[in-house]
Amino acid sequence: SPVPEDAPTGTVVALLKVRDRDSGENGQVSCELSGEAALSMVASSGGSYKVVTASALDREQASEQRVTVVARDRGRPSLWSSREVVLEVSDVNDN
């Protein structure tokens, strides 16, 4: 669902769960966002993450926010996977 451009900073826009079935360091996974967007990631418990608004959204400047979520394990060599997340921004003052 689109997020209104007047959503307050800290609004949760996605919930992610990452896991690796390996044991030890190979099973420990971290997540991060890459890309220029008004979004950030907050770690929760049990391999869960929240993608939240990090600043004000402005539909006139960007009708969508695109970021890449990168998950990496702590093995040697480190393995990783990535997915793109697209957030549509809805206009609240359009006549």
In terms of Cβ atoms closer than 10 Å to its own Cβ (0-12, 13-18, 19+), residue 73 is: buried
Which pLDDT does position 95 carry in this prediction? 52
Which pLDDT does position 74 carry in this prediction? 84
Residues of the chain with pLDDT under 70: 94-95
Size of the chain, expressed as the number of residues it contains: 95
At the fourth CATH level, which superfamily is domain 3-90?
Cadherins (2.60.40.60)
- What ranges do the domains of the chain cover? 3-90
Which pLDDT does position 1 carry in this prediction? 84
Strand partners of residue 31: 71
Which pTM was predicted?
0.82
Half-sphere exposure of 61 (CA within 13 A, CB side): 7
Which pLDDT does position 89 carry in this prediction? 93
Which pLDDT does position 94 carry in this prediction? 64
Encode pLDDT of 63-89 as tens digits. Answer: 999 999 999 888 888 889 999 989 999
**Integer Cα distance of 7 and 12 in angstroms:** 10
CB 85 within 8 A of CB 51: yes
Which pLDDT does position 11 carry in this prediction? 94
Which pLDDT does position 55 carry in this prediction? 92
